[in-house]
Every structure is written in C-alpha cells, then in structure tokens.
Amino acid sequence: MRFVIIHEVPSMGEHGGGRMRIRSSRHLETARLEALRGALASLDGIREVRANALVGSLLIFYADASSRTQALTLLLGAADTQCQFAIPPMSGAGAEAMPAIEISGADIFKPLVHYIFVRPLLPMAVRMVRCVLKAIPFLLKGIRALLHGRLTVDVLDAAAIGTSLLLRDFRTAGMLMLLLHLGEILEQWTRQRSLSTLTESLALNVENVWLLVNKEEVSVPLAQVRPGDLVVVRAGSSIPVDGEVVEGEGLVNQASMTGEPLGVLRGIGASVYAGTAMEEGRIVVSVRKVGDGTRLRQVVKFIEESEALKAGVQGRFERLADMAVPFTFALAGLVWLVTRNFRRASSVLLVDYSCALKLATPLAVLSAMREGARHGIAIKGGRYLEALKEVDTLVFDKTGTLTQASPRVAEVISAPGFDGREALRIMACLEEHFPHPVARAVVRKAQEEHLQHAEEHAQVQYVVAHGVASSLHGKKVCVGSRHYIEQDEGVDVSVLDEDIRRQAALGRSLLFMSEEGRLVGMVAIEDPLRPEADRVIAAMRELGIQRVLMLTGDDERTARAVADRLGITEFRAEILPEDKAHIVQELVSSGHKVLMVGDGINDTPALSAAEVGVAMSDGTDLAQEVANVLLTRPSLDGLVHARMLGQRTLRRIHGNFALTLTLNSLFLLGTLFMILAPAPSALLHNLTTLAVSLNAMRRHLPPTLPDADA
C-alpha cells in the first residue's frame, strides 16, 4: 500500500497554515480510515482532518512545517513496509524546512524477478505445487465465465493454463501466468494513474459562495459554509452544496449526476446536489452537506461514468477479441482431429488474438486521456477521443472563445440627459451577480473608476440570452443586448445611432441600459482576440477540418471585422442562443461531424448538440459541465492538441491491431507446423501482448509540449 499527496496548498508563513489531500493506493475500510483520521487529529498542530471513505482520502489542515512532517511520519508508519509515498515539490514559505520523503517500490518487477532468480533455486516439487496453486484463480475465473454462458478470453486463458498443467509443462504454465499477471498489473497501474489524474483535472474549484445573512448576500469562502446556512445560486453557477431549496426556483442541469442533459425544475422543497449547475433562475439553498468531500464524491462518480463511455473502436475491438475465442477453440479442435496430437492442439490455445486486442485498446484510450489531462485537455470519456478524430466542421462562439475571456470596457457613452458614471455604477450593481466575462468587465471598470455600487435594487432577474432586469427606487432597470433593449423592451436607441456605428466599426460589443423605457446609455466592450486564435484555426485546417464557422450575437459589421482578422470566411451574426443550437443541429443533420467551442451559458445547447462540445476553463460552470472536452488552460492551443491526440490515438490502436494480427498469425502457423514448441510460442505470444500494451501507453503528443503543471 502507498499514500500519495495528490494536492497541496502549502503553508503561507508562520501562522498561515496549509492543507494537503492524501489518498491510499488500496481501498481502506471505513474503520481504518477513521482510525487514521483520529490519530492524525490528535497530533500537535493538526487543525482538522476530514476522511472520505468513498475514495480513501484524507484532507489534512496543518499549522506549520513541523506538524506537516509529524502527519507524514505517522502515515509512513501506518503504510506497508514496501510502499511509495509520493510527495510533490513544495513551494512557498517553510518549504525548505519540509523533508522530501520518497520510498520507491518495484511491485511490477517482483513477479518477474522471482520467476527468473528465485524459482530455479526451488525444489521441483515446490515449483509444481506453487504453479498449481497460482493456477487456481485463473481456472476459477474461466469456469465462472462458462457457468454464466460466456466464452470469453478468461475461458481461453484457463484452458491454456489447464492444458499446460495436464501436459506437466509447468514452465509454460508458470510463464503464461506470469505474463498475464504482468499485463493485469500494467492495466491496473495505468487505470489508477489515469483516473487519479482525470479526477484532479475535472474537479470544479469553487472558492467562494454567496450566503444569505440577515436578508443580505455576503460572499464567503466555501470552506466556511456549514449545514443550515443559506446559499444563493444564480444562473450559470455550479451548485456547491447538497441541500434543499427554500426560496426561488430554477432549471438545474444534473448531467454530471444523472446523465440527463435537460434541465429539471427545482423549486421550494426540492433537493439539489453539489456538482450540478443552474441553467436559469435563482434559488436559495439550505445546506445539508458541504465541503470538499461532497464535491469530490460527485467528481469521482462522474469519472467512473466517464470511463464507461468507451470509444466505439474500443468496444469493437473488445467484441472482436471475444469473437476470436471460439475461433481459437475450433482451430485447436480441428488440429486434434487431423493430427490426434494433443500437444500440437494445445499449442494453438497458447497463441490467440484476444489478449492483445482486449488489453491494448483500453490502455491506449486511458493513456491518451491521462496524457491529455497532463497537457490541459480533460476528455470526459473514450468515445470523445474517437469523435475528435472524426470531426470535419469547427464551430466557434466568438465572445470569450475566439476573443479573450477578460474583455474590458473601452468607453462609456450616456444618452442625452443622463450621467455616464451613474449608468456605469448601476450596471455594475446589477451585473456583479453573474459570472459572464462581459459582466465582470463592467464590474471591473466601476472598480477602476472608484464607483461604489451598494445593493440598492430589488431581486435581479436573469432573462436568458438577453440580459438582466431589476427594480431600482421603484423604476424598472434593464441591462442587455441591443436586441433585448430595443426589440423586447421597446426602447428607442436611435439617439446613439452615430456612436453605435462608430463602435461597431471598431469591432466592439455594446451593452445597453434603459430605465422606465428610456435609454440611459451604453458601454462599449473591447473584446481582444486571443493571440493564438488565427494560428489555431490554420492548424486545425491542416489537421483535416474542412469548414470553420463563427457564431455571434454581435451585428454583422462587428462579426465581419473579427472574421476577416482571423481568416474565417463563414460566420452568422445577430443570432440568439437557440439559433446556435439549431445551426449545429442543421450541420449534423446534413452529415457534418461538428466540434463546437464555447464558454457561456448561452452556448450550452449548441455544445450539447455537437458531436464534441469543447469549453474553455475560464467559461461558466454550466458550459464546463455540459462540454465533452474541457481545455483547462486559457488557450485555444489545446484544441489543436486534442485533435492531434484523437488522431494519433486511433492511429496507434489500428497499428496495434495490425501488429497483433500479423505476429500472432505467424506464431500460430509456427505451432501448427511444429516449428515452435508450446513454451516458445506462449512466450512470443505474451511478449507480443506486452509489447502492444507498452506501445499503447507511449506518448501520443510531441514531447516538446509542456505539461499542465509546468
């Protein structure tokens, strides 16, 4: 058993304290985990210890370097004598005083060393008994498969081992079991490392939440929230706690928990869960469960579901592997009927196509997902690797995707009779409740102008795809797009026509504000293009993307200015969110395989409709939840790397398939014509399986790419 530090926030000074999450490599019984928690909590300087029995993890809050060292020493004593305690490099205050503890083991090499160096020294009788005892689990596994009516690879392995024992060929049986065991260790190690990496990369980090205290909303760290507190959640935000709705109603997307993509209505009395996301509305949740444990439990469940989303090619090869088993038995039977030579017939059982086909493909998929996570690409299931390779049409949302996720207010323009600074102050007051980049830009501009925007308004209503509305001193105030203000609210904006044309020519987005049906003013949002955007689009075309389309709610002049700068020849302007989804659906219906990239609440229908939905890490929680691929770095370069990863993974899978067929066919012919004896044929077959498995685990992307934590 080993303990691994999977995440740590180091001590920030003498009194700052730190925290680290530690996970066990083996499942720990709840009683043992609680015993460890109690022992750690009793140490001087350990402020709090939280145990999560579901994943076997401990979250330790420590006061200083000394208490951290005591905790690690206790865990090392609790672990097995031959274990590995992996500790990432420390940084920050106190780092130099903390010891680097690392005990490296070689579990994967122990069976091999024993077989080569220890086994020959044992008496023959001992070797025979050990071989038979080791064979029992393999034989039982095959028998169980037969009893359930399945003729699978397990049956074939049991038959090959059992036949070798009957022939008293203990060397072949032992070698076969050794190589099968090494293959299992290899798969388990890859799966564990992959799922651990993916769990960390997909975890949603919620630092602060809005608490309702004495009818006022206060922003506090999530760690301070306790059962019974009232948490306010608005559209576009992730629900950070388990609890019950006590005020308001809204649509909640529970895809991360139930897999159902459509939002469900949650009102007073309904339960909501951490890890789900608000699509529309506003709710106040009375907290039942809170903390990293709840969050981690949902993420782990999601990871397990994601692993079940196998690539189509993986499913095909696994079915093909099982289909090859009856063929192998039939061929062995045919050889026996023709030659009446049991040894020659048994040799056929030692060479088959199933093992390599069934092992190498999932290893390639898991390794690719893990490699993607290291490079800032979180792929939520093997099927999306295949889809990344197959897509031929690339659809971008403009704002926050092709443009930087931190737009800025370039100019504030007031309508005649109104003050621009006052308009900006009120806008910031309304927009601060919403996570969209444009809203953040307005709030940031007000802060730069030193404008105080206390809560003077009534409850803010989010009008999906349009803007926000509220009541201020008895007057209706609306902030949103031109379509919302002019078409839905009937406000005349013609008094600013000249300014609107001037700003549009500069490629800026406009946010309007009205009060009681009169235009107050507008802010021009400068949305700088991502510096890598044109390079990424060109690279995606080189990688086989045939069509690139940009979608935006901006007017045509603004959209054309952006498209021309990026070399995009096809775009749709002045569209609503439902239009984005309809456009993607039309492309899919016409036979295109669509990759959609977006970041906002209004992009989620289109992300769901596409073959592959990609969200940016600096987008809204909802977009990140709905997307199939998450770029965890604020750069579009991950899009190119994801496409390359999909292409190269599928290429390697097909290459392994061809190699398996070729080599095993040669070995099979060798056994049929007695060129190869059973032991060498079994060795060559299993070495081929290990070789294609190791090949599947090789790096897919160029080694020059930096890791996500670099």
Catalytic residue set? 397
DSSP 8-state secondary structure symbol assigned to residue 457: B
Q: Where are the alpha helices (DSSP H) in 403-526?
A: 420-431, 437-448, 482, 497-505
Burial 640-650 (b: 16+ CB within 10 A, else e): bbbbbbbbbbb
- Spatial distance between the Cα atoms of 28 and 515, rounded to a whole number of angstroms: 61
CA angle, residues 542, 544, 545, in degrees to nearest 5: 100
Contacts of 121 (CB under 8 A, 6+ apart): none
Annotate 133-187 with three-state secondary structure: HHHHHHHHHHHHHHHCCCCCHHHHHHHHHHHHHHCCCHHHHHHHHHHHHHHHHHH
Q: Is the Cβ–Cβ distance between 364 and 652 less than 8 Å?
A: yes
Token pair listed for 453: 């925007």
| Nearest of 512, 615, 523, 508 to residue 562 by alpha carbon | 508
CA angle, residues 361, 143, 151, in degrees to nearest 5: 50
Q: Which long-range contacts (CB under 8 A, 24 or more apart) does 478-484 make?
A: 478/513, 478/514, 478/515, 479/427, 479/430, 479/431, 479/511, 479/512, 479/513, 480/511, 480/512, 481/510, 481/511, 481/512, 481/553, 482/510, 482/512, 482/555, 483/553, 483/574, 483/576, 484/512
Helix (H, G, I), strand (E, B) or coil at 481: coil
- Spatial distance between the Cα atoms of 296 and 22, rounded to a whole number of angstroms: 13
- Spatial distance between the Cα atoms of 616 and 632, rounded to a whole number of angstroms: 7
| Nearest of 72, 629, 623 to residue 309 by alpha carbon | 629
Strands 594-598 and 612-616: parallel
Q: Is the Cβ–Cβ distance between 543 and 524 less than 8 Å?
A: no
Contacts of 632 (CB under 8 A, 6+ apart): 201, 373, 376, 377, 378, 617, 638, 708
Strands 408-414 and 612-616: unpaired
Query: Which strand (E) or helix (H) includes residue 191?
Result: helix 170-202
Specify the amino acid at residue 342. Answer: F
Query: What's the start-to-end Cα distance of the chain, in Å?
Result: 28
